[in-house]
């Protein structure tokens, strides 16, 4: 009889032809999707050619997205995107996204059904772990590794140990999945899950919509995790039902599965959380961070640019004005989300408030474009990182929060919550 396994172990075992894999074991696993973007793909393509390869392992399973510096912000980024375009054309890739098809990769792939439960997905981007929200094993790899995967369709992995995070209680108003993951990173630190799987479960998780589950899995890497994962349930299956391009297989952890440690949080009295500069682990309850003046608020990114995030922000900001001297930047994560926000009147709410609305792009999150900070400026953002210089000048500062807090702060001109309005 097979020994008990976590969901992560089961997915990895299935992809290397075994019934059981042991944490710490080295395996070669078959990959369902290999992903890269306009920053990382050119290096992967170089490695691909250096290996003497002529064709990718599967034209349906290599996905390229020009989303970081696109629409091209300068000549250098234009060249990067050009390399990706040419390779996608040469290889006849089914899934290449550019221009009006382009969205922020980690919102785009689930939306289009390219990734699903039970998959192994590797991407040359650290936030590939986002897809763990679907019950997939998803992890970021280096560009050279991704180049090898594009040739072979396989990845060398060490099976990670697992940590279990249980969230009990009913979520209070204005508290989201973003707050749960910030609370967790604040608790265990940016290296608290190094090369381990973070498995999220409990009553509060089961009540989360998919948009908020994506936010949680997205930031697992900020705790050093190899992957973050949530076992599929009815909410997951409803999301993938009319999207999945391939048959899906769901897995769940065995009751007796081994975890290195278990962490339990009662969220029933939790308030919104804010990560202060210069680290995602520097987390405080909102009540301890009020009165910090801001120059900019950014609502978007692969963490919080989905339709649920925009609805929440619009709910807070409707009928109000962005504070004098504050720039509010709203970036819907995909063309579909942009259209939904337009059809629902959310874009009108933001425009009436004095916001700038950008096309789908990673933009300011990585200090790319469309919202770079000057010396001494302070931003609150729904993004995932706030390291020194992350969004611009090294003397600027970034605070991380959920969309409701980012919207309220834009109206008041200092960090605050919707209750302050």
For 245-265, write each residue's pLDDT tens digit: 999 999 999 999 999 999 999
Give the DSSP H or E segment for 187: helix 177-188
* Residue 142, in any domain of the structure: yes
Whether residues 259 and 314 fall in one domain: no
Whether residues 215 and 164 fall in one domain: yes
CATH number of the domain encompassing residue 40: 3.30.499.10
For 49-82, write each residue's pLDDT tens digit: 999 999 999 999 999 999 999 999 999 999 999 9
Query: Is residue 196's pLDDT more than 80?
Result: yes
Token digits of residue 27: 């395996």
Region 392-405 average pLDDT: 98
For 41-56, write each residue's pLDDT tens digit: 999 999 999 999 999 9
Region 269-286 average pLDDT: 98
Of the residues 264, 293, 313, the one at which a domain ends: 264
Whether residues 279 and 260 fall in one domain: no
Whether residues 223 and 361 fall in one domain: no
Whether residues 115 and 30 fall in one domain: yes
C-alpha Rg value of the chain to the nearest Å: 20
What's the whole-number average pLDDT of the chain? 98
Whether residues 249 and 367 fall in one domain: no
Of the residues 239, 264, 289, the one at which a domain ends: 264
Whether residues 144 and 249 fall in one domain: yes
* Residue 212, in any domain of the structure: yes
Region 196-222 average pLDDT: 98
For residue 174, count CB atoms less than 10 angstroms from its CB and return exposed for 0-12, middle for 13-18, buried for 19 or more: buried
- How far is 409 from 274, CA to CA, in rounded Å? 12
* Residue 87, in any domain of the structure: yes
**What is the count of structural domains for the chain?**
2
Residue 308 belongs to domain spanning: 273-420
Whether residues 247 and 304 fall in one domain: no
* Residue 248, in any domain of the structure: yes
Report yes or no: 109 and 33 within 8 Å, Cβ to Cβ. yes
pLDDT of residue 1: 73
* Residue 2, in any domain of the structure: no
Whether residues 191 and 145 fall in one domain: yes
Sheet holding 261-266, edge to edge: 227-229, 196-201, 161-168, 261-266
Whether residues 95 and 167 fall in one domain: yes
For residue 327, the SS3 value is strand
Whether residues 110 and 233 fall in one domain: yes
* Residue 251, in any domain of the structure: yes
Of the residues 219, 243, 264, the one at which a domain ends: 264
Helix count (H) and strand count (E) of the chain?
A: 14, 18
**In the structure, what pLDDT confidence band is assigned to residue 26 with cuts at 50, 70 and 90?**
very high
* Residue 65, in any domain of the structure: yes
* Residue 1, in any domain of the structure: no
pLDDT of residue 2: 82
Can you list the positions of beta strands (E) in 176-295? 196-201, 227-229, 261-266, 273-275, 283-285
Whether residues 193 and 300 fall in one domain: no
């Amino acid at each position: 009889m097979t020994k008990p396994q976590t969901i992560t172990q089961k997915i990895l075992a299935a992809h290397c032809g075994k019934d059981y894999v042991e944490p710490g074991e080295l395996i070669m696993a078959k990959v369902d999707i290999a992903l890269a973007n306009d920053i990382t793909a050119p290096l992967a393509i170089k490695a691909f050619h250096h290996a003497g390869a002529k064709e990718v392992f599967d034209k349906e399973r290599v996905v390229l997205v020009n989303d970081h510096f696109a629409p091209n912000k300068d000549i250098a980024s234009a060249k990067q995107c050009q390399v990706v375009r040419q390779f996608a054309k040469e290889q006849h890739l089914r899934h290449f996204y550019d221009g009006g098809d382009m969205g922020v990769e980690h919102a785009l792939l689930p939306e289009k059904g390219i990734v699903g439960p039970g998959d192994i997905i590797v991407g040359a981007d650290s936030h590939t772990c986002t897809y763990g929200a679907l019950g997939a094993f998803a992890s970021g790899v280096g560009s050279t590794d991704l180049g090898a995967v594009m040739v072979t369709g396989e990845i060398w992995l060490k099976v990670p140990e697992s940590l279990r995070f249980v969230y009990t209680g009913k979520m209070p108003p204005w508290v989201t999945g973003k707050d749960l993951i910030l609370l967790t990173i604040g608790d265990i630190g940016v290296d608290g899950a190094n090369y381990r799987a973070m498995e999220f479960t409990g009553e509060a998780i089961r009540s989360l919509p998919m948009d908020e589950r994506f936010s949680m899995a997205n930031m697992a890497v900020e705790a050093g995790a190899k992957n973050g994962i949530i076992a599929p349930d009815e909410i997951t299956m409803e999301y993938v039902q009319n999207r999945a391009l391939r048959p899906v297989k769901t897995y769940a952890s065995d009751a007796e599965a081994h975890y290195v440690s278990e962490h339990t949080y009662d969220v029933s009295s939790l308030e919104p959380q804010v990560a202060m500069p210069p680290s995602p682990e520097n987390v405080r309850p909102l009540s301890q961070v009020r009165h910090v003046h801001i120059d900019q608020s950014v609502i978007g990114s692969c963490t919080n640019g989905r339709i649920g995030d925009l609805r929440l922000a619009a709910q807070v900001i409707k009928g109000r004005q962005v504070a004098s001297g504050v720039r509010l930047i709203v970036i819907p994560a995909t063309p579909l989300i942009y259209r939904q926000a337009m059809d629902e009147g959310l874009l009108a709410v933001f425009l009436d408030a004095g916001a700038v609305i950008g096309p789908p792009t990673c933009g300011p999150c990585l200090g790319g474009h469309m919202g770079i900070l000057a010396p001494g400026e302070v931003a609150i953002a729904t993004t995932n990182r706030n390291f020194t210089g992350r969004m611009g000048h090294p003397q600027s500062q970034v605070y991380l929060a959920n969309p409701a807090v980012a919207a309220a702060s834009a109206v008041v001109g200092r960090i605050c919550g919707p209750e302050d309005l």
